Amino acid sequence: MEAHENYTQQHQDIREEGGIAYGDVLEHVNFDYAAKLTAVNAISLASLAWAPTPPETVALGGAVAPAATFSWDAVPGAVGYKIYWRDTTSPTWDMSRNVGNVTSFTLKGMVVDNYFFGVSAVGQNGQESVVKFPNKIQR
């Protein structure tokens, strides 16, 4: 929970050495921060619980073609799907497109070598599943 760890207070047995008190003790806990972080974690877990599961299989095609083609398994309870993509150097899903309640789609003008892709399922309540990376090659 701590962005900048203090190794005299964290990951230590409670003790004193060389005049320095070591250890995880209650006097160093920021309870307001811990409560906020707990709320964020609970909201995140609830969001995942309310979302449909991701598609089991996501196929990606488009080798030597100027289009990325996708197909995926239908997900019970899903009312639509969303395709995500990002540069291969990006740690976050930066671009996306709602594609409706279909199980295949083509993104024209997208070269598969330049991006990472994934598909999420969207539920009736608007909640999205986690993004599923392709796990099959589409021919």
Give residue limits of the domains in the chain: 15-50, 58-137
Residue 1 has pLDDT above 70, yes or no: no
Residue 47 has pLDDT above 70, yes or no: yes
Using alpha carbons only, what angle is made at residue 107 by residues 106 and 108, rounded to the nearest 5 degrees? Answer: 105
> What is the rounded average pLDDT of the residues 14-34?
91
> What is the rounded average pLDDT of the residues 34-58?
95
3-state secondary structure of 37: helix
Please tell me the pTM assigned to this model: 0.79
| CATH class, range 58-137 | mainly beta
Q: What is the pLDDT of residues 87-115, one digit of tens each?
A: 999 999 999 999 999 999 999 999 999 99
Q: Is 12:21 a contact under the CB 8 Å cutoff?
A: no
Name the residue among 63, 60, 69, 71 with its Cα closest to residue 113.
Answer: 63
